Amino acid sequence: MAIPVNEPVINGDLVGTLAGLAPDGAVAALRAARADVTSFTQGSHDALFDRNATGLSLEERLAAASYAAHVAAAPDVARAYRERLHAVRSAAGDETSALLERLVASGDALGGQPASASFDAGDNPRINAILSHTHALARLEPPPGKPALARLRQAGLGTREVVALSQLVAFVSYQVRVIAGLRALEATA
């Protein structure tokens, strides 16, 4: 279930909204018993996608999040981030969005093959490096190493940006797994 851009997140809980939880259902009640987990998860999301965060642009972060969810075979989560990217993108974000759309359309993640040729198709080495690193982190095939970090540096990313990107990919991987678990629980409740 994708979240339309103009639709509010239910009770400030993006994960619950993306999971399609009934606000008054049994799974929502279980989550309410651990409200701190829900709050911290949403707080992490809010910090990672804060418009005022420095380093990676919001467009870059949303593209990486969408692509990480795509690689994790979570099309609804990927679509939610892609819709937000389309809503906030700038002129520079058009190229980012176009590259992301090409990657998603190519089916690279679903086929399990790295799409290294696709990353070199665009004219923006920065977004190419960001999405390539996102792919490597999300798939861990092969694990990113010094050459991957060197490519990020050559594309203009500093240490803080590389750490922020890595945190974002890890968070989206966590988010996708929590959503899948909640959907499974909701289906049995």
Residue 91 has what pLDDT?
53
Residue 3 has what pLDDT?
46
Residue 174 has what pLDDT?
95
Compute the distance between CA of residue 81 and CA of residue 127 in angstroms, rounded to an integer. 16
Q: Is the pLDDT of residue 5 over 70?
A: no
Residue 1 has what pLDDT?
43
Residue 68 has what pLDDT?
94
Residue 168 has what pLDDT?
96
Handedness of CA 129, 166, 65, 105 (dihedral sign): positive
Type of residue at 105: A
Pick the CATH number of 10-188 from 1.20.1740, 2.60.40, 1.20.1290, 3.30.70: 1.20.1290
Q: Is the pLDDT of residue 107 over 80?
A: no
Label residue 9 exposed, middle or buried (CB < 10 Å: 0-12, 13-18, 19+): middle
For the chain, the structural domain boundaries read 10-188
Q: Which residue has the tokens 């694990």?
A: 143
Residue 166 has what pLDDT?
92
Share of the chain above pLDDT 70, in %: 74
Cβ distance 96 to 89 under 8 Å? Answer: yes
Residue 81 sits at the vertex; the CA angle it makes with 89 and 53, to the nearest 5 degrees, is 60
